[in-house]
Chain A
Amino acid sequence: MKDKKPKNVFKEGAISSDFIGHSIYKHQTKTNIGAHNIFLGQVRADEIDGKTVSAIEYTAYEAMANQKFHDIREAAFEKFDLTCMHIYHSLGTVKAGEICLFVFVSSPHRKVVFEALQYIVEAIKANVPVFGKEIFEDSSHQWKVNS
């Protein structure tokens, strides 16, 4: 299931629960899979200096980001016995409570997917040039930094 060229990982706006549900449904024909694991990143309504985050506006250095997602994908397939892997990240505005990152890994057995998912999500946070503008309810903003 390796791909030679980077795919576009980005989706405009929030990732819907319908889309996530349909992705799970599509894997029911792949009966060599025994375990799925899913990470969903959700926009948090952080309170900072008395102001509440109402949304995050995502931008990215898209060409480099898609290449990095591709590298992470290749490295994960190399490291873990995965049957398949899907990554989607939002661009544009995602409101508090909505999903901005969807990572979906599948394997014949469970132990692999626990390890693989953590590896992939941490690599995304550290290496992919995505930028997040936290918009407050009063329309002011600050820039998010991954910890």
Chain B
Amino acid sequence: MYITVKYFGQIAEVTNKDEETVEVIGGQVSDLLEVLNTRYDQLKNEDFQIAQNQELVSLETALTGLEIALLPPFAGG
């Protein structure tokens, strides 16, 4: 399945882009992360949460095909 992945803050510095479409074989968030870790060496050193369709999810969550976002630590306020 093809998934739109968005990057923010320091994560976007690692990927050097804000957004891309990623092909994933396998049905869990962890499968997507595996693809991204292969693509971006530095990603495993970064601290981030993952959102699917704007809700935080875990690595075991099933991919739905909706938008994924990699969110570094929040700094609002």
A7 to B75, CA, bound (A): 20
- B9 A59 Cβ-Cβ under 8 A: yes
- A145 B54 Cβ-Cβ under 8 A: no
Does chain B have a CB within 8 A of A8?
no
Number of interface residues of A (CB under 8 A): 28
Comparing A20-28, A107-115, A118-126, the segment that makes contact with chain B is A118-126
Does chain A have a CB within 8 A of B26?
no
- B77 A129 Cβ-Cβ under 8 A: no
Q: Which residue of A lies closest to B76 (CB)?
A: A130
Across the A-B interface, how many residue pairs have beta carbons closer than 8 Å?
Answer: 68
Contacts of A143 in B (CB 8 A): 9-10, 72-73, 75
A-contact 0/1 string along B3-47, CB 8 Å cutoff: 000101110000000000000000000000000000000000000
Chain B nearest CB, measured from A66 CB (Å): 9
Specify the main secondary structure of chain B where it touches its partner: loop
A130 to B73, CA, bound (A): 9
- B77 A146 Cβ-Cβ under 8 A: yes
Residues facing B in A96-147 (CB within 8 A) are 100-101, 121, 124-133, 143-146
A61-B8, A64-B51, A143-B9 given as contacts; is B74 within 8 A of A101 (CB)? no
Does chain B have a CB within 8 A of A73?
no
Chain A nearest CB, measured from B26 CB (Å): 24
Contacts of B72 in A (CB 8 A): 131, 143
Chain B nearest CB, measured from A19 CB (Å): 17
A146 to B73, CA, bound (A): 7
Does chain A have a CB within 8 A of B71?
yes
Does chain A have a CB within 8 A of B69?
yes
Chain B nearest CB, measured from A115 CB (Å): 18
Does chain B have a CB within 8 A of A13?
no
A64-B69, A129-B51 given as contacts; is B77 within 8 A of A59 (CB)? no
Chain A nearest CB, measured from B10 CB (Å): 5
- A129 B8 Cβ-Cβ under 8 A: yes
